[in-house]
Amino acid sequence: MMDLIKENCTACGACSNICPNESITMIPDSEGFLYPYVCKEACMCCGLCESVCPIINRPDCENTSDPKVYAAWSIDEEVRFNSTSGGLFTELAKAVISKGGCVTGARYNKEHLVGHYIIDSEREIPLLRQSKYVQSETGNVFKHIKERLDKGKQVMFVGTPCQGAGLQSFLGKQYDNLLLCDFICRGSNSPKVYMKYLESLKKQYRSDIKKVWFKNKINGWNKFCTKIEFENGKEYYADRYTDLFMRGYLKHNLYIRPSCSNCYFKGFPRHSDITLGDFWGVKLNDDESIDTDKGTSLVIVNSSIGQQCFNSLGDRIFKKESSLEAALPFNQCAVKSVDMGEKRDYFFSEIDKEDFTELINKIDRNEDRI
Ligand SMILES: Cc1cc2nc3c(=O)[nH]c(=O)nc-3n(C[C@H](O)[C@H](O)[C@H](O)COP(=O)(O)OP(=O)(O)OC[C@H]3O[C@@H](n4cnc5c(N)ncnc54)[C@H](O)[C@@H]3O)c2cc1C
């Protein structure tokens, strides 16, 4: 029977995927984060859930602590514009699919919530593309990945570092046909809070939402803008300082998952073959031509499988070798967890009573009296 301390659970889903009796369901708590719930009547006390948990038993990691580091971007301007950083995810995904493989990543569903799905065709890559700043539900995807790996199919998985570690634990052995990619992760936000944010905007714009696009680059990558398209044709556009969801995330640290403030998967060596991120600060290096504000990916290659796949991209990408020393000062989330904000408890005590916009504005104005 699962005996996991709630604060440390990341909702990777390894336990619910491995349970032979399907007696573990992931259920949201009052903050909207999923946690495993064990049905005592159905549980056979086999202990598999505990042994597979990457927090209780961290999977082995043979990757290097001294990875190769690159600044890179897709030379396809459309791919680069439509991606969060430099479009390296798309180029890696294309490479895997062109060899008959499949790709697993996060996509929006009809309600604009986020879950992990498997795609088999290049046509579907845009569904997985772009960062969604809300926790993605893994569902049964680990089981489906294992089925494909066991049949010898090439699989690329992209997710948070904890999701990658969960998959590795679930698989229980090394697969040469798996390309595991994670990204530098600041923390996953509550799906419930994200829905409250969308509800608030829907009220203001008197319309349902058609599309959410975080880190839209129309005014440049560095602006970190959120674009939302409404069914009535209107558009919302706000940068990281004015968009209230981003303010709550980046300025006040109000609604990341508790486990993200004590993340077990920071630093090096990493469990993934390749780690992706934004190469913030790249223009401060010697080569001024490298920063064009169209987005630059930080690519950290942690294993020989990762290096092989990265090399196979050839001239589809621009790349320049760099170093952790150049990248990490601008990307501390690679090595350090973010603290939970001091107003987090207040925020969650009010969120069911107050409109999201009103509440963040109140916190911004320091009117919360906590
Ligand atoms: C919650 C979150 C926090 C991040 N924090 C940082 C950070 O602090 N520093 C930094 O340098 N980079 C961070 N990133 C990563 C960065 O935003 C880019 O996703 C990454 O650089 C890849 O960009 P790309 O242009 O290659 O591909 P993109 O096309 O942007 O691909 C994004 C990939 O991430 C996957 N993905 C998107 N959203 C989620 C999600 N919610 N859960 C799991 N997988 C998801 C997609 O399936 C896709 O494979 C974060 C991403 C997310 C989702």
CATH number at residue 30: 3.30.70
Q: Is the same domain home to 82 and 163? A: yes
Residues 239 and 264 in one domain: no
- Kindly state whether residues 38 and 176 are assigned to the same domain: no
Residue whose CA lies nearest to ligand 1 atom number 20: 277
Q: Helix (H, G, I), strand (E, B), or coil: what is residue 247?
A: helix
Residue 91 Cα, ligand 1 centroid: separation in angstroms? 14
Q: Are residues 174 and 72 in the same domain?
A: yes
What pLDDT does 3 receive?
A: 55
Distance CA(126)–CA(185), nearest Å, equals: 21
Structure confidence by residue, pLDDT tens digits, 176-198: 999 999 999 999 999 999 999 99
Give the angle 299-103-124 at the CA atoms, nearest 5°. 105
Ligand 1 atom closest to residue 105's alpha carbon, by position in its atom list: 47
User: Do both 166 and 261 map to the same domain?
Assistant: yes
User: Within a domain: residue 58?
Assistant: no
- Name which residue sits closest to atom 15 of ligand 1, judged by CA: 277
Note whether residue 370 is domain-resident. no
User: Which residues partner with 319 through β-bridges?
Assistant: 72
Distances (CA, A) of 295 to 138, 278, 282, 330: 28, 8, 10, 15
> Is the domain of 208 the same as that of 84?
no
Ligand 1 atom closest to 298 (CA): 21
pLDDT score for 287: 64
Average pLDDT, integer, range 268-294: 82
Residues 158 and 261 in one domain: yes
Ligand 1 center–CA 160 separation, angstroms: 8
Task: Give the pLDDT mean for 349-369.
Answer: 90
Question: Is 38 contained in some domain?
Answer: yes
What distance in Å separates the CA atoms of residue 257 and residue 28, rounded to the nearest whole number? 12
Among candidate residues 343, 172, 179, the one with its CA nearest the CA of residue 252: 343
Atom 9 of ligand 1, residue of closest alpha carbon:
184
The yes-or-no verdict on residue 370 having pLDDT over 90 is no
Distance between first and last Cα of the chain: 39
124 and 160 in a single domain? The answer is yes
Q: Residues 6 or more apart from 44 whose CB is under 8 A from it?
A: 20, 21, 23
- pLDDT score, position 284: 47
What is the DSSP track for 19-69?
A: -TT--EEEEE-TTS-EEEEE-TTT-----HHHHH-TTTSPPP--S-SS-EE
Q: Are residues 104 and 211 in the same domain?
A: no
Q: What is the mean pLDDT of residues 253-275?
A: 97
At 197-237, the pLDDT tens digits run: 999 999 999 999 999 999 999 999 999 999 999 999 999 99
Nearest-10 Cα torsion for 336, 327, 273, 246: 60
Q: Which of 84, 130, 141 to mutate to test the pocket of ligand 1 (most atoms within 8 A of CB)?
A: 84
In Å, how far are 248, 261, 316 from 193, measured between CA atoms? 10, 17, 38
CA of 105 to the centre of ligand 1 (A): 10
Question: What's the pLDDT score for residue 170?
Answer: 98
Question: Per-residue confidence at 282, pLDDT binned at 50, 70, 90?
Answer: confident
- The angle that helices 191-205 and 356-364 make with each other, rounded to 10 degrees, is 100
- Domain with 285, as residue range(s), is 68-188+256-334
Identify the pLDDT of residue 7.
72
- Asked if 115 and 139 count as a contact pair (C-beta separation under 8 A), the reply is yes
Residue 259: per-residue pLDDT: 97
For residue 61, tell me if it sits in a domain: no
Residue 59 lies in a domain: no
Helix or strand or coil: residue 214?
strand
Query: What's the gap in Å between 241 CA and the centre of ligand 1?
Result: 20
- Report residue 4's pLDDT band, with 50, 70 and 90 as the boundaries: low
Q: What is the pLDDT of residue 289?
A: 62
Pocket of ligand 1 (CB under 6 A): 83-90, 105-106, 114, 128-134, 136, 158-160, 183-186, 188, 276-278, 297-298, 331, 333
Going by alpha carbons, the residue nearest to atom 3 of ligand 1 is 185
State which of 183, 276, 280, 296 you would mutate to test the pocket of ligand 1, scoring each by most atoms of that ligand within 8 A of its C-beta: 183
Q: What is the pLDDT of residue 281?
A: 82
112-126 confidence digits (pLDDT tens) = 999 999 999 999 999
49-79 tens-digit pLDDT = 999 999 999 998 999 999 999 999 999 999 9
Q: Which residues pair with 227 in a beta bridge?
A: 213, 237
* Structural domains in the chain (count): 3
Whether residues 143 and 207 share a domain: the answer is no
CA atoms within 13 A on the CB side of 55: 22
Residue 48 lies in a domain: yes
Closest C-alpha to ligand 1, atom 34: 131
Q: Which residue has the higher pLDDT, 1 or 151?
A: 151
Q: Looking at the structure, tell me whether residues 313 and 180 fall in a common domain.
A: yes
277 and 176 co-located in one domain: yes
Q: What is the mean pLDDT of residues 334-349?
A: 97
Instruction: Report pLDDT for 320.
Output: 92
Distance 202 CA to ligand 1 centre (A): 25
1 part of a folded domain: no
Is 63 domain-assigned? no
